[in-house]
Homo-oligomer: A and B are copies of this chain.
Amino acid sequence: MTHVFKDRPKLVARIRRIKGQVEAVERVLDGDGDRCLEVLQLVASVRGAINGLMAELVEGHVTHHLVDADDEAARRQGGDELIQVLRTYMK
């Protein structure tokens, strides 16, 4: 039931890359000149990276908190949590 631990180094590396992308947006917004197209492209990339991370986290949740859950109570909780998250995310 420790699925965050399992892939932790990979997930941490992934969120750090996203932080780097966010800092690039900050630098361009904070700098001189009108680099509007560049900012739009950078923000679109951040969104793509966030979507990819979210998909991976949901996949981990399905595997570890539903398919491989320790018992029925844990599985039911894992299902409730997933539904709660996806309800917001998908609408």
29 sample A-B contacts, Cβ–Cβ < 8 Å, listed by A number? A4-B35, A4-B36, A4-B39, A8-B29, A12-B26, A12-B29, A12-B30, A16-B26, A19-B23, A22-B22, A36-B60, A37-B84, A40-B58, A40-B85, A41-B85, A43-B54, A47-B54, A47-B89, A55-B86, A55-B87, A59-B83, A59-B86, A59-B87, A62-B79, A62-B86, A63-B83, A66-B67, A67-B75, A67-B76
SS class of chain A's interface: helix, strand, loop or mixed? helix
Besides A44-B85, A47-B51, A51-B90, 19 other A-B contacts (C-beta < 8 A)? A4-B39, A11-B29, A15-B26, A15-B29, A19-B19, A36-B57, A36-B64, A36-B65, A37-B84, A41-B85, A47-B89, A55-B87, A59-B87, A62-B79, A62-B86, A63-B79, A66-B66, A66-B67, A66-B79
